[in-house]
Structure 1
Amino acid sequence: MGLPPGFNTPAVGFEQPFAMLEACHERVQRTLALLGRLREHVREQGSDDSARQAARDVLRYFDIAAPLHHQDEELHVFPPLLAQGAPAVVALVRRLLQDHGDMVADWAAARQPLQALVDGQIRAFGAADEAALDRFAGRYARHIADEEGVAYPSVLQLLRPDALAPMGREMAARRQSPRPEGVRPPQPRAVP
């Protein structure tokens, strides 16, 4: 079904934080594509070792990496835009923040059938499971397009070039804190 998310990704370092944010979006898209292949596999063949491994990969990415990515945006990208952005950009950022909150709720619903598949509690996704997975995956396309097309370019116009290195160091440091196996990082909070 494919390699776990993050494999075969060109190396991007935190010294280029916006390249790192965009690389995270690529991993989100690849992980959502893996989720789509997993769903098709389960519809055609049911649950097997391959399906359970793919579900574990999706769970791992959206439990650990995605919340850190949202936190990066909420700490480094959105605040300057809310404080200094044009009114249309401020409105967009407020929607992006709302999306982050909605994504947390969508993920809570979507992770249940994936975890049940991993745990051998289900062999196929029911209609409610499929709806939860659709809702979760569906929110990302517009969200990523708005961040890369509007939010990131807008904040780069506001940030001084010397702000990028500290931003990258903070992003890297958040990922260095040890987390026991199975412990999820704190969910970022959306701010108005």
Structure 2
Amino acid sequence: MLFTIGRKRHSEELVDLLLACHGRIRSFLEIAVSIGERPNVSEDEVADGSARVQRYFSEALPLHVEDEEQGVLPRLHGRSPDLDRALERMSEEHDRHVRPVRRLCELCAALRSEPGAAIVRVELAGVARRLRAELEPHLEAEELLVFPAIRSLLTVEEQQAIVRELRARRQAP
């Protein structure tokens, strides 16, 4: 298979789980760019890759955002003014990402139906590149500011509670 994602890590530490999500975000964006930019990709690979990208961004990414918004943000809020500003920025950026992510999913759905649609592939690559440019600084800021705060300011019990919530969110019907 042309489009693969790295091995799953089986850590139960909160920051490791969040970092793994960030890795998947980056990987699926690269798949989306490749679908649009690589002319030698078969229609079967386009359809399969598009389905996987669409599934990730329509199902898994919203769960990751909920993990941060409902689990991490309320527990870190109020710990420091600088951290509060970073958390507010994180939340605002989550809202700004909704429309481009929706467009990415629409284009992937179109390619699942018509994997030979070259113009859609080109548009997908453009949308994915722009989304990558928006998401990369967002992900880096979380990794540099929020994730270290999780490790240093939240107790092991608080982190484990967030992991339980994260797991429950993914098992919900």
Identity %: 26
Answer yes or no: is 1:66 the counterpart of 2:61. yes
The size of the alignment, in residue pairs, is 171
Instruction: Give the SS at the match of 2:78.
Output: helix
- Structure 1 Cα separation of the partners of residues 65 and 152 of structure 2: 21
Answer yes or no: is 1:24 the counterpart of 2:21. yes
Q: What is the Cα-based RMSD across aligned positions, in Å?
A: 2.1
The residue that corresponds to 2:140 in the other structure is 145
Counterpart residue type for residue 47 of structure 2? R
Answer yes or no: is 1:123 the counterpart of 2:117. yes
Counterpart residue type for residue 28 of structure 1? I
Contact 2:87–2:146 (Cα < 8 Å) also in 1: yes
Q: Give CA deviations for 1:142-177 in whole Å, capped at 9, x if unaligned.
A: 111111111111233221222122211111011011
Contact 1:12–1:19 (Cα < 8 Å) also in 2: yes
Answer yes or no: is 1:56 the counterpart of 2:55. no
- Structure 1 Cα separation of the partners of residues 110 and 119 of structure 2: 10
Contact 2:32–2:53 (Cα < 8 Å) also in 1: yes
* Structure 1, gaps ≥5 residues long: 179-192
Return the structure number with greater helix share.
2
Which aligned segments of 4 or more residues in structure 1 are displaced greater than 3 angstroms? 125-131
1:175-186 correspondence runs (5 A): 175-178=170-173
Change (3 A) 1:22 1:121: closer
Contact 1:68–1:174 (Cα < 8 Å) also in 2: yes
Contact 1:52–1:117 (Cα < 8 Å) also in 2: yes
